[in-house]
Structure 1
């Protein structure tokens, strides 16, 4: 039950982060960005937005599932982190090709570079959160 709750929370986190990235893209591009026109025009009205939101949610679920499978939160190892990263970047590339963020035949250096930066930032946020929690527990135990 705890895993289902975590998956739901992470789904919402993925949707939220996707929405934030979309908002930043809208500011950068100078128009209201609701998906790449090539993808949106290929599906029924409204369907494209729904698919996009589900895929954004997947960006929250996939890392949580891989963490559960690899048990990253119980014992950290560099190998597990690399597998976790490879699973997520594979999902990113699949989602990008499906949503037509980029073409499979084009160079993916910039999108992958941006993905890596976002992955590192989110990793730092999780690290700081976990460190704070551990420090609070240690402080309570030392009293």
Structure 2
């Protein structure tokens, strides 16, 4: 992908890449191995605080969850760009895993995960289409409603 084209597309969408998030524990943000880049799970933050904390199905609406997932994907792109030195080495997104903090009985995980998927396709076009899992979990780090991990093919 062309780095300038991706940045221009972000601008057209009214988006700006955030600073690549620093790890909050003992891990690295991205590992590149065997032609793949594995982006550590991203928890949506804004101004240093978790975006829409809580559980889907109680404190957090599907729309807020989708917004958090979208932010997670944007942060994943920022982490990829920081690790790769730009988007020129990015070939495509391969897989997205969305973990959704879910109250008992909540089954809208795919709707929440669409926030991440939609953002990646809006920004990267066909190269943003990916395989995906949307998984409901009891709790996530820092009280986050969503955590998104991304695998990308790179040169």
TM-score range, shorter chain: 0.3 to 0.5
When the two structures are superposed, what TM-score results if normalisation uses the length of structure 1?
0.37
- Greater share of strand: 2
Larger Rg: 1
TM-score using structure 2 length: 0.34
